[in-house]
Amino acid sequence: AEDDSHWQPQVFSPPPMARDESIRVCVRCTPGRSQAPSVKLSGRTLELTRPKTTLTKKFDFHQELCPPSSGHVVDGFLSPAIRSAVSAGEHVAAMSFGAPKTGKTTTMGEATRTAVSDVFAAVEGQHFADRMVTVSALMSAITPPAQSHMTGRQVCHEVLLDALLPHGGDAAYRGGLHVREHPRTGFFVEGLTTVCVASEAEALEYVQHAMTNFELEKQRCGGGGGAPLRVHTLVTFKVWRRKADGSEVVSEVQLLDLAGWQRAGGSTGGTSKAASSAEKALKGKVGAAPGAAVFEDLVIKAIMRVCDSLEQKMSHIPYRDSKLTRLLCNALGGRGSCLCALHVGLDSFEETEAMLQFGKRVSAIRNSVSPNSINYGALQAR
């Protein structure tokens, strides 16, 4: 028998304690037409009043509500949380959702540029043996309806495109990138361009290039032919930091700008038809103009299902219903923190109420946030 008197059992350090945290929601209200419903902010409570009536509904989001300014949303809500998460080695996602022409794209553009400064400020303030920062950007395009060979129905498809590469024309929508799953690291986009940046200026250069491609793609929306109907954008920063003992701390920052939902059929507020269109909009039904064909936005519909399943604490969460929801699994009910900037357009009472109800459901989702630390020595010993 071998002499094992010198053998000592391998001791693994316990994982860091996770904290229970709800998704933080910030509401930004944009004034609408003259007969729009009125909104009153009172601390953490938002009061919505129907025009020409005394009907009032109150919504409590458990967070301070920001004034209607993109600068307040970024500097007072998104930026501090992103810097804190990167410093702690955690995953954080910021998503902008709401009606069109409410400033959500402007808010997320400012947040993306500010996130570059926040990431490098958090990294430079710490002492590690080695570090690396990467940038990637992708677009989730919803293609025009096409007849399915299996069912014969008109269906839309979600296609992922690399935003750091030159535009490939309509042929790019025939394939797109695929989301794969690694047994240890989770979901990732196969073939997505990931650039290692050494400075803040270099990162801003790639971010600006991606945002230019975002705008070009959004301008093509609804142009007919093979042009997409809607485009959702996602910018991701990853930070690897290696300690002296060989363990790594990995932080990930995701900035998601969801395309604004629109009323199906272009109805106006104040009637039951508006309430019906609002309900359809929040379920992913989108119509660009009166009389236009209504199609399903697969991404928004999948996010709604994921949020509803998490709120109801169901055993199965349908992350695989969309490619974007797979990539957002850490932010929605996972081990990362999530920030939602909800942009509400005060065009009708029913639609505004539906959007605020969605924000209230999102704020009820709980995440178990913990640092992402990998000890390769312990993994090999196991």
Which residues are part of a known binding site for ATP? 98-105
> Residues within the annotated binding site?
98-105
**Per-position DSSP letters for 205-228, written without gaps between them:** HHHHHHHHHHHHHHHTTT-STT--
332 within 8 A of 95, measured Cβ to Cβ: no
| SS3 state of residue 172 | helix
Residues 6+ apart with CB under 8 A from 12: 375, 378
Residues 6+ apart with CB under 8 A from 275: 350, 354
Look up residue 338 and give its DSSP letter. E
Cα(7)–Cα(111) distance, integer angstroms = 53
Cα(27)–Cα(46) distance, integer angstroms = 9
> CA nearest 266: which of 354, 347, 353, 344?
347
> CA nearest 297: which of 97, 92, 32?
97
Residues 6+ apart with CB under 8 A from 136: 164, 189, 192, 193, 194, 195, 235, 236, 238
> CA nearest 136: which of 184, 228, 207?
207
**Per-position DSSP letters for 30-91, written without gaps between them:** E---TTPPEEEEETTEEEEE-TTS--EEEEE-SSPPPPS-HHHHIIIIIHHHHHHHHHHT-E
Strand partners, 60: 45
